[in-house]
């Protein structure tokens, strides 16, 4: 299905959260022909698995039910890797693969079957209901890196997950479960053709559907897996946040394409009825909290950062997934981006060359930006290359890419903070007058840390991936390598990679956290950025001529 832009014709297939394609995997026929939905969604050709390496013996699971809260530990600096110009693309990719093997072996040794490994204290922790989030979320990264023995081991574990057995609480968060578990399962199916993954996906999604049984179709935040009932959030009015209610649609539609059961697709799409009807002062932008019973906005706080980010991300990805035929989604994309440009874009004082996003409180901009929002440059570029009416935003996307990258290069570690701030054109900041280090960073780079921690987030790397794949400009690979080099230097711990407490310290403490998205997103995007030794997009893994990614590195 061709989507024609003024730049090129792009065949883009948007799958579910974490789906990837590895060239060289021969085709395997499915057991039966799946029914094809009759609207603009379609069923792609299947991918076969090749003969894997022998199984690696499974380690003995270690389970600590009473693990302590996150603690900070003194860190050590690792020796920096060679600079970008000193290595070939293949050598860079091997360093990233080695990082994956190191962190996976640490998880496998100390925390197998738990959701995460604590890479400093070498202990397991369950944060996502105890089903092994790192295994399910990271399984496709194993595959595309050619770690087929580890992939098989993960497959064997997944086959025995019992969704009815939850760690600590029967409450299951719909959003996190969808992007980490549902996406990982669909990914494994796309790569291997193994129907077991579809069966496990259906079992899990069917248990999530009660959350959508609301007057508006907007899901409650949780499902109680013991009672089978949806449970509201603890926000005012039991509100659902924008990102959570708008970040299941790609996964649910893909599951419908695979199974022929279009219940999942229609459940996901029903939420948009509210947003077509919801009128705001900034058309196409919505407050970050919505009452799931009435569809009314709760407050007037608008952001493209945390609690809202992937709602906007999934609009363009769904339009792409429809083959350019979903006119309602196209209009939502155009409207949201036009309003974002009008109401949220800011240029820091003294730095007109970079663009950043502000949050909006009522009618007032707040000059700060989440690292989470650094998905936006890549998302805007995808929109510019897909929708002819938005080709003019490509320069803005580039300026924002520059702004997000400055958040990395400005700190002493070369790592971006969780939230960074800036001085607006009137000279105002969220912290008052700037002095010392903040004043220097603001004048030199246009940004300074506000929340100084880093938890191995991938969003800037994701945007760099899009910029490199669309432009083939090698400077984006150099940017990605510098980021990886900083992560290697400051985050590589005892049995994996740890977040750090202060990105602008010479010797930052480790936070002893390694979330599953480090496997599923951060390392995957970095690996794919160095996948090719030529400019032929047809020879790349996960070519954007065939695939697009969603919020947890969905392909």
The residues near 279 (Cβ < 8 Å, ≥ 6 apart) are: none
Q: State percent of the chain over pLDDT 70.
A: 83
The H or E element that residue 297 is part of is none
In the residue annotation, 153 being an active-site residue is answered as: no
- 551 labeled part of a ligand binding site: yes
pLDDT at 38: 33
pLDDT at 466: 95
Question: One of 251, 370, 371, 418 is an active-site residue; which one?
Answer: 418
CA pair distance 350, 369, nearest whole angstrom? 17
Question: One of 116, 153, 459, 521 is an active-site residue; which one?
Answer: 459
The conformation of residue 127, written as its DSSP 8-state character, comes to: S
pLDDT at 271: 94
> Chain centroid to CA 503: how far?
21
Per-chain mean pLDDT for the chain: 87
In the residue annotation, 91 being an active-site residue is answered as: no
Alpha carbon dihedral 91, 96, 99, 105, in 10-degree steps, equals: -100
Residue 17 has pLDDT above 70, yes or no: no
pLDDT at 168: 78
The residues near 142 (Cβ < 8 Å, ≥ 6 apart) are: 100, 104, 148, 150, 151, 154
CA pair distance 34, 273, nearest whole angstrom? 29
CA pair distance 508, 415, nearest whole angstrom? 11
Interval 401-438: pLDDT, tens: 999 999 999 999 999 999 999 999 999 999 999 999 99
pLDDT at 24: 36
Residue 20 has pLDDT above 90, yes or no: no
- Predicted confidence band of residue 533 (pLDDT cuts 50, 70, 90): low
Interval 428-464: pLDDT, tens: 999 999 999 999 999 999 999 999 999 999 999 999 9
Name the pTM for this structure.
Answer: 0.88
Q: Among 81-90, 208-217, 292-301, 542-551, whose mean pLDDT is lowest?
A: 542-551
In the residue annotation, 176 being an active-site residue is answered as: yes
pLDDT at 75: 86
Question: One of 137, 176, 244, 462 is an active-site residue; which one?
Answer: 176
Q: State percent of the chain over pLDDT 90.
A: 78
Measure Cα distances from 165 to 160, 346, 383 in Å.
Answer: 11, 47, 41
- Predicted confidence band of residue 40 (pLDDT cuts 50, 70, 90): very low
Interval 162-215: pLDDT, tens: 999 998 789 999 999 999 999 999 999 988 889 999 999 999 999 999 999 999
Say which residue the tokens 């060239």 belong to. 23
Question: One of 309, 371, 512, 515 is an active-site residue; which one?
Answer: 309
- Do the Cβ atoms of 53 and 149 come closer than 8 Å? yes
pLDDT at 549: 60
pLDDT at 547: 61
- Do the Cβ atoms of 120 and 510 come closer than 8 Å? yes
Say which residue the tokens 């971006």 belong to. 416
Q: Among 284-298, 345-359, 488-502, 532-546, whose mean pLDDT is lowest?
A: 532-546
In the residue annotation, 424 being an active-site residue is answered as: no
Residue 5 has pLDDT above 90, yes or no: no
Largest CA distance in the chain: 67
Average pLDDT for 135-150:
96
CA pair distance 217, 311, nearest whole angstrom? 16
Q: Which of 312, 266, 240 has the alpha carbon at shortest distance from 459?
A: 312
């Amino acid at each position: 299905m061709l989507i024609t832009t003024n730049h090129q014709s792009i065949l883009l297939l948007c799958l579910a959260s974490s789906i990837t394609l590895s060239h060289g995997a021969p085709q395997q026929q499915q057991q039966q022909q799946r029914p094809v939905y009759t609207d603009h969604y379609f069923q792609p050709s299947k991918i076969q698995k090749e003969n894997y390496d022998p199984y690696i013996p499974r380690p003995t699971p270690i389970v600590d039910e009473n693990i302590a809260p996150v603690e900070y530990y003194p860190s050590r600096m690792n020796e920096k890797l060679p600079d970008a110009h000193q290595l070939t693309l293949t050598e860079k990719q091997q360093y990233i693969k080695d990082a994956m093997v190191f962190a996976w072996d640490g998880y496998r040794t100390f925390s197998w079957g738990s959701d995460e490994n604590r890479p400093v204290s070498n202990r397991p922790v369950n944060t996502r209901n105890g089903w092994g989030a790192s295994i399910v979320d990271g399984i496709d990264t194993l595959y595309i890196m050619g770690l087929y023995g580890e992939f098989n081991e993960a497959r064997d574990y997944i086959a025995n997950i019992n969704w009815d057995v939850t760690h600590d609480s029967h409450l299951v968060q719909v959003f996190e479960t969808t992007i980490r578990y549902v996406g990982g399962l669909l990914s494994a199916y796309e790569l291997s053709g193994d129907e077991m993954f579809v069966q496990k996906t259906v079992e899990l999604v069917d248990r999530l559907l009660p959350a959508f049984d609301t007057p508006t179709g907007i899901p409650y935040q949780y499902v109680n897996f013991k009672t089978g009932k949806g449970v509201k959030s603890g926000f005012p009015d039991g509100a659902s946040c924008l990102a959570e209610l708008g970040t299941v649609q790609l996964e649910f539609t893909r599951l419908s394409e695979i199974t022929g059961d279009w219940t999942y697709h229609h459940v996901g799409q029903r939420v948009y009825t509210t947003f077509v009807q919801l009128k705001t002062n900034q058309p196409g932008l919505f407050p970050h909290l919505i009452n799931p019973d009435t569809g009314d906005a709760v407050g007037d706080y608008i952001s493209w950062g945390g609690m809202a980010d992937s709602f906007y991300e999934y609009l363009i990805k769904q339009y792409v997934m429809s083959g350019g035929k979903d006119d309602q989604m196209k209009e939502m994309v155009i409207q949201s981006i036009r309003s974002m440009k009008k109401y949220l874009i800011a240029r820091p004082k003294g730095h007109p060359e970079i663009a950043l996003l502000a949050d909006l409180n009522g009618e007032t901009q707040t000059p700060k930006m989440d690292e989470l929002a650094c998905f936006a440059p890549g998302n805007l570029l995808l929109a510019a290359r897909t929708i002819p009416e938005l080709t003019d935003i490509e320069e803005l996307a580039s300026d924002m890419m520059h702004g997000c990258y400055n958040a990395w290069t400005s700190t002493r570690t070369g790592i971006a903070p969780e939230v960074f701030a800036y001085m607006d054109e009137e000279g105002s900041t969220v912290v008052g007058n700037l002095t010392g280090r903040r004043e220097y960073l603001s004048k030199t780079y246009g940004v300074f840390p506000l929340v100084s921690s880093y938890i191995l987030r991938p969003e800037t790397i994701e945007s760099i991936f899009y910029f490199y794949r669309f432009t083939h400009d090698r400077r984006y690979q150099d940017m990605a390598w510098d980021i990886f080099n900083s992560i290697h230097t400051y985050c590589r711990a005892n049995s994996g990679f740890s977040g750090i407490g202060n990105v602008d310290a010479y010797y930052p403490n480790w936070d002893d956290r390694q979330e599953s998205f480090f496997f599923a997103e951060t390392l995957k995007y970095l690996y794919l950025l160095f996948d090719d030794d030529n400019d032929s997009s047809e020879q790349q893994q996960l070519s954007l001529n065939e695939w697009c990614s969603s919020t947890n590195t969905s392909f």
